[in-house]
């Protein structure tokens, strides 16, 4: 898809090369996806990389957590020409092992605090920049609502229906009158050019603390990368709430229109709801000229990962054709919000996807209550990323951990957790 296919001019982002593709600079918007196979299973992972690339993924991400995964990645690299990206978790030093093998490294500012706490995050970013520079890699600063830089979190994340969602705006980091005017100008343009903004629940919200924290974190990292003379990077700002995705990306683009943006809704969940949520966020942004690459994160079994790419391509086709329906945002704004991770190689029990489906089906009776239920696939990110939901489930190898907010409620076999979840949901409803 070319720039001219979009109904409005795109932001003047700089080009960033990722292997054989370029994002930003007016280049076609690139669809990305991620493997859900075990990285150490080279055969399965190569097959999935090839399948995703053949479906239209310009970049394919692979999870790497261990030295064994790194060895597998070396073999995967030998067997495919696809553009590869990796996701660093807490172990930022792994970048030195993976950089020679991939085209892009994603790091999460919130994760730079865990390993070697005595070393500053600025030093760690310097290390990543050195490694990326030596090995011809791009970087993505991947800010995620579930793991925001703790130094930026000023108050607890608001839950669905929380009045904090509508607190008054306060100035953005480094925001002066000029920046504010530019932001407002873009906001006006977004509203005037996208029917989604004009008529639906996805109107830009005032800045809430969560949006502010994500924004501050991303801008701070951009400033450091610029000071280090490293410009081959993009930024992502992902939330599970489509309205907040629109808000935070719109505000970031107003301050840094030069930085390419990777768009997506984190923990969007099962199709079709996950696709609706993602469209509700991405379509108005693209229609306003914001966004250079995207991923539709869907909770599907490993064998159906290509659906992420198909959904992403369909979104681009819709925007190019001027099909900017507001039905998505209405559907995405339903009170009961089930969020679930897209699964990846870290899932330890294949029953995770089935459990997410059972949660959705068993809680339909509560559709009118503004309650968030999070279902996460692993113990790496599950414990932290369920803290902010009203009810959370994260999956271990043999059992499911149930929580109310950040309070653990117990560990249950996969086939026994749903009745307990419903009892907790009933109690929540009764208390409202
Ligand atoms: S929560 Fe775990 S399994 Fe799910 S996408 Fe994140 S890392 Fe992968």
230 near 132, Cβ under 8 Å? yes
At residue 326, the pLDDT reads 62
At residue 154, the pLDDT reads 52
| Residue 340 phi, psi dihedral angles, 5° rounding | -150, 145
Domain boundary among 268, 300, 332: 332
Same-domain check for residues 239 and 343: no
The pLDDT confidence band at residue 152, using thresholds 50, 70 and 90, is confident
| Average pLDDT estimate for 109-134 | 93
Residue in the structure block whose two tokens are 């991947």: 142
- The DSSP result for 361-399, as a single string, is HHTGGGTTS--EEEEES-TTTHHHHTTTSSEEEEE-SSE
Residue of 382, 388, 400 best suited for mutating to test ligand 1, as the one with most atoms within 8 Å of CB: 382
Distance 36 CA to ligand 1 centre (A): 9
Question: Looking at residue 82, which CATH number applies to its domain?
Answer: 3.20.20.20
Distance 376 CA to ligand 1 centre (A): 6
At residue 388, the pLDDT reads 87
| Average pLDDT estimate for 117-130 | 95
Same-domain check for residues 187 and 302: yes
Same-domain check for residues 149 and 182: yes
- What whole-number distance in Å separates Cα of residue 414 and Cα of residue 255? 46
Please give the tally of structural domains in the chain: 2
Same-domain check for residues 59 and 205: yes
**CA terminus-to-terminus distance, the chain:** 48
Atom of ligand 1 nearest to the CA of 382: 1
pLDDT at 254 over 80: yes
Ligand 1: which residue has its CA nearest to atom 2?
378
Atom of ligand 1 nearest to the CA of 378: 2
| Average pLDDT estimate for 280-299 | 96
Distance 380 CA to ligand 1 centre (A): 7
pLDDT at 226 over 90: yes
At residue 210, the pLDDT reads 87
At residue 198, the pLDDT reads 40
At residue 221, the pLDDT reads 97
Distance 82 CA to ligand 1 centre (A): 23
At residue 193, the pLDDT reads 42
Residue of 342, 352, 355, 397 best suited for mutating to test ligand 1, as the one with most atoms within 8 Å of CB: 342
Mean pLDDT check: name the lowest of 7-11, 334-338, 425-429.
7-11
The pLDDT confidence band at residue 332, using thresholds 50, 70 and 90, is low
Same-domain check for residues 176 and 250: yes
Enclosing domain of residue 348: 337-430
Same-domain check for residues 86 and 105: yes
The pLDDT confidence band at residue 5, using thresholds 50, 70 and 90, is low
Summarize pLDDT for 259-271 with one digit per residue, the tens.
999 999 999 999 9
Distance 308 CA to ligand 1 centre (A): 16
Residue of 61, 376, 396, 401 best suited for mutating to test ligand 1, as the one with most atoms within 8 Å of CB: 376
Ligand 1: which residue has its CA nearest to atom 5?
343
| Average pLDDT estimate for 211-224 | 95
pTM of the model: 0.85
Same-domain check for residues 98 and 145: yes
Question: Looking at residue 344, which CATH number applies to its domain?
Answer: 3.30.413.10
Helices (H), 288-369: 306-320, 327-332, 351-362
| Average pLDDT estimate for 61-90 | 94
Distance 395 CA to ligand 1 centre (A): 10
Domain boundary among 332, 350, 370: 332
pLDDT at 48 over 80: yes
Domain boundary among 297, 332, 367: 332
* 3-state DSSP helix/strand/coil % of the chain, to nearest 5: 45, 15, 40
Same-domain check for residues 319 and 395: no
Which of residues 347 and 153 earns the better pLDDT score?
Answer: 347
At residue 240, the pLDDT reads 92
Same-domain check for residues 261 and 286: yes
Mean pLDDT check: name the lowest of 33-37, 54-58, 143-147.
143-147
Same-domain check for residues 145 and 257: yes
Atom of ligand 1 nearest to the CA of 297: 5
Atom of ligand 1 nearest to the CA of 347: 3
At residue 417, the pLDDT reads 98
Burial of 217 (0-12, 13-18, 19+ CB in 10 A): buried
Distance 351 CA to ligand 1 centre (A): 14
Pocket of ligand 1 (CB under 6 A): 341-344, 346-347, 376-378, 380-382
Same-domain check for residues 34 and 146: yes
Distance 30 CA to ligand 1 centre (A): 23
The pLDDT confidence band at residue 427, using thresholds 50, 70 and 90, is very high
Distance 75 CA to ligand 1 centre (A): 23
Same-domain check for residues 190 and 73: yes
Task: Please state, for a pLDDT cut of 90, what percent of the chain lies above it.
Answer: 72
């Amino acid at each position: 898809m070319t720039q001219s296919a979009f109904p409005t001019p795109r932001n003047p982002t700089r080009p960033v090369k990722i292997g054989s593709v370029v994002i930003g600079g007016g280049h076609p918007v690139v669809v990305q996806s991620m493997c859900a196979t075990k990285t150490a299973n080279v055969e399965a992972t190569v097959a999935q990389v090839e399948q995703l690339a053949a479906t239209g993924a310009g970049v394919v991400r692979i999870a790497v957590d261990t030295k064994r995964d790194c060895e597998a990645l070396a073999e995967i690299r030998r067997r495919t020409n696809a553009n590869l990206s990796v996701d660093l978790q807490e172990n930022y030093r792994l970048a030195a092992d993976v950089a020679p093998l991939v085209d892009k490294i994603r790091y999460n500012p919130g994760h730079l605090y865990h390993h070697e706490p005595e070393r500053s995050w600025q030093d760690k970013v310097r290390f990543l920049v050195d490694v990326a520079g030596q090995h011809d890699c791009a970087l993505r600063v991947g800010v995620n609502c579930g793991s925001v830089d703790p130094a930026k979190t000023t108050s607890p994340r608001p839950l669905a229906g929380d009045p904090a969602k509508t607190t008054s705006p306060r100035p953005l980091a480094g925001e002066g009158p000029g920046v504010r005017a530019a932001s407002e100008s873009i906001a006006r343009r977004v509203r005037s050019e996208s029917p989604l903004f004009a008529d639906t629940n996805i109107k830009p919200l005032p800045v809430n603390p969560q949006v502010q924290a994500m924004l501050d974190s991303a801008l701070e990292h951009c400033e450091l990368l610029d000071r280090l003379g490293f410009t081959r990077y993009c930024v992502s700002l992902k939330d599970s709430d489509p309205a907040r995705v629109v808000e935070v990306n719109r505000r970031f683009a107003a301050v840094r229109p030069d930085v390419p943006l990777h768009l997506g809704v984190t923990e969007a969940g099962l199709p079709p709801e996950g696709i609706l949520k993602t469209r509700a966020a991405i379509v108005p942004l693209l229609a306003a000229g914001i966004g250079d690459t995207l991923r539709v994160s869907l909770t599907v079994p490993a064998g159906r990962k290509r659906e992420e790419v198909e959904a992403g391509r369909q979104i681009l086709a819709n925007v190019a054709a001027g099909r900017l329906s507001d039905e998505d945002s209405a559907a995405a704004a339903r009170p009961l919000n089930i969020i679930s991770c897209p699964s990846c190689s870290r899932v330890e029990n294949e029953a995770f996807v089935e459990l997410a489906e059972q949660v959705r089906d068993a809680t339909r009776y509560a559709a009118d209550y503004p309650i968030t239920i999070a279902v996460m696939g692993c113990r790496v990110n599950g414990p932290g990323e369920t803290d902010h939901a009203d009810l959370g489930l994260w999956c271990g190898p043999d059992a499911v951990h149930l929580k109310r907010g950040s309070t653990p409620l117990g560990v249950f076999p996969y086939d026994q957790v749903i009745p307990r979840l419903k009892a907790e949901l009933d109690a929540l409803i009764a208390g409202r």
